[in-house]
A and B are shown apart, each in its own frame.
Chain A
Amino acid sequence: MATQPVSGVPGARIEISGVTKRFLTPSGEVFTAIKDVDFEVEPGQFCAVVGPTGCGKSTTLSLVSGLDKPSEGEVRVAGQPVDGIAEGVSYMFQADALLPWKTVLGNVALGPSFRGVRRKDAETAARDWLRRVGLAGFEDRHPHQLSGGMRKRVGMAAALINEPRILLMDEPFGALDVQTKAIMQNELIGLWEQLRPSVLFITHDLEEAIALADRVVVMTSGPGSVKAVFDIDLPRPRGAIQDIRFQPEFLELHRQIWESLREEVERTYARTAGVAA
């Protein structure tokens, strides 16, 4: 844990203003995934987005990353409108996005290598990052030889090696068991505190959202829009994620946000279960 805070590039402000995204289904129908979404992530802020299944959380992320374009409205990163793949953005998915035919080292070195860094320098940087996520000695393994938690660490190193201004995380720990999840959350916060990128973190897990984030955005379901924004003023550093959830402030925030979220979850459930809403 001798890592010094990396100066790096400070996190960038994310502004999502009046964004609507419509998709054309193959049968020619228009499907509105999100409608008039409006919220901001301050530079270096950790922002969690919660909402029922299918409320367009992932769509919102892909708009910020530049993988997709909004139908209406505008997404700005550091004041610049997003047009195409934004520079300084990293993405972490729920499923592994590792290349199974590359070694752990090769996977982490991808980011710099794609940006034209020489192979040797990319590998040196990758070794350093693997050490920081506690995977020194596993450089030559292939992803399938690692456990789920270890693969997540590789994914984290691969996402952070470019020292992004913005880190987009789409339920990154959704598939992990409870214990591994807690460990990974602590490590994520540790790395975030060193690098301080702006984080947009999607999750189903409200506890996770409150414990990690400075700001929690609650989204409504189909089409998704922002229902409420809560600022989490729990002091930092917050210590172990497992302990914070018993603090009275935490419980009060949880109660408030759940109140807001429950309605949406129930409505979505009623709709998908085929019961009249």
Chain B
Amino acid sequence: MTQNVGTYAIPATEEKSSANPGRRIARARRAKVLAAQLLLAVLIIGSWQLLTTWKVLDPFFYGQPSGIVKQLKDYFTQGDQATEFGSYWSQIFTTLREAVFGFVGGTVGGIVVGVGLGVSPFTAKVIGPYIKIFNAIPRIVLGSIFLVAFGLGQTPKILLSSVLVFFVVFFNAFQGVREVDRNVLNNARVLGASKLRIVKDVTLPSALTWIIASLHTAFGFAIIGAIVGEMLGAQSGLGLVITTAQNQFNPDGVFASMFVIAAITLVVEFLLTRLERRLLSWRPPSPTEAAAI
């Protein structure tokens, strides 16, 4: 540890001082970006509001920001009366639970099958075409079959969700395993690693970069699976709330739930990024990451 201290030329106390011109410039730059972002949001929402107020756009189809805000307030303040199916929170909870179960199930399945096929080229060759065929099926349609088979409960939504997630994770895990550096693999073998140790110490960590990259997309698919499942037929959930609002010609209701779903996805995305940082902390900081959105 003592060696580490020596490598930092600037003592910690000086580093914090605001006299550093580099820091000031960086902060100013960030403030500028933030101001522009806020301005853009105000511009879009403002023109939406005005255009619908002036009837250039028909609020019957396009909704209205003020209406959406009011709708959201109603949803979150009216308790059990918020929707015909109970409180809005319970709808969120239903959808979230379906999505999370589907996400976890699909991810675990995808990793197990992907890594399994990845380390066994023969099985991969045999099963490969079938997976391609299954992948080519428009999987949303499976929702109808699950609904018939498992009724209006949460099971068909979880299944649909996990099927959507499975393929995203599976293809990445499979590819990740095949991208494992041959030298590293041979080196581990020569050093005396058993098959199990190779999977645990070499294959899995190496494929993890690919797997984690797929999780961002995968959670989006998990939510889609849950919502579509609910729209096909359900007793509760945000998908049902949206269909109901649609049937009542209430675009504000549709938009309101849409924003809630977007917010949930963003929160999960944030958590996944945190997880990614922790699991992949060994990676060199990539130059593009600093400039990334």
Residue-wise interface mask of B (188-201) relative to A, using a CB-CB cutoff of 8 A (1 in contact, 0 not) = 11111110010001
**Residues of B contacting A162 with CB < 8 Å?**
191-192
**Residues of B contacting A255 with CB < 8 Å?**
none
Known: A85-B189, A97-B183, A101-B205. A114 touches B282 (CB 8 A): no
Assess whether A93 is in contact with B187, with CB atoms less than 8 Å apart: yes
Q: Which of B244-290 contact A (CB under 8 A)?
A: 280, 282-284
Assess whether A91 is in contact with B282, with CB atoms less than 8 Å apart: no
Report if A6 contacts B (CB, 8 A): no
Assess whether B190 is in contact with A99, with CB atoms less than 8 Å apart: no
Number of A-B residue pairs having CB atoms within 8 Å of each other in the complex: 69
- The DSSP consensus for interface residues of chain A is loop
Task: Tally B residues with Cβ within 8 Å of A.
Answer: 24
**Residues of A contacting B205 with CB < 8 Å?**
99, 101
Report if A120 contacts B (CB, 8 A): no
Assess whether B284 is in contact with A90, with CB atoms less than 8 Å apart: no
**Residues of B contacting A90 with CB < 8 Å?**
190-191
Residue-wise interface mask of A (143-167) relative to B, using a CB-CB cutoff of 8 A (1 in contact, 0 not) = 0110000000000001000100000
CB closest chain-A residue, reference B194? A114
Q: Which of B151-174 contact A (CB under 8 A)?
A: none
C-alpha gap A142/B194 in the complex (Å): 24
Report if B17 contacts A (CB, 8 A): no
C-alpha gap A62/B189 in the complex (Å): 12
Known: A95-B183, A110-B201, A137-B3. A101 touches B189 (CB 8 A): no
A148 to chain B, nearest CB (A): 14
**Residues of B contacting A87 with CB < 8 Å?**
192
Report if B28 contacts A (CB, 8 A): no
Task: Tally A residues with Cβ within 8 Å of B.
Answer: 29
C-alpha gap A142/B283 in the complex (Å): 8
Q: Which of A93, A110, A111, A144 meets B183, CB within 8 Å?
A: A93
Q: Which of A67, A95, A96 meets B189, CB within 8 Å?
A: A67
Report if B92 contacts A (CB, 8 A): no
Assess whether B190 is in contact with A85, with CB atoms less than 8 Å apart: yes
C-alpha gap A158/B187 in the complex (Å): 10
Residue-wise interface mask of A (22-53) relative to B, using a CB-CB cutoff of 8 A (1 in contact, 0 not) = 00000000000000000000000000000000
Assess whether B282 is in contact with A101, with CB atoms less than 8 Å apart: yes
8 CB-based A-B contacts, threshold 8 Å: A66-B190, A93-B183, A93-B186, A97-B184, A99-B202, A101-B283, A102-B282, A137-B3
- Which residues in B have some Cβ–Cβ distance to A below 8 Å? 2-3, 181, 183-184, 186-194, 197, 201-202, 205-206, 208, 280, 282-284
Q: 3 tightest CB-CB pairs across the interface, nearest first?
A: A97-B187, A144-B284, A137-B3
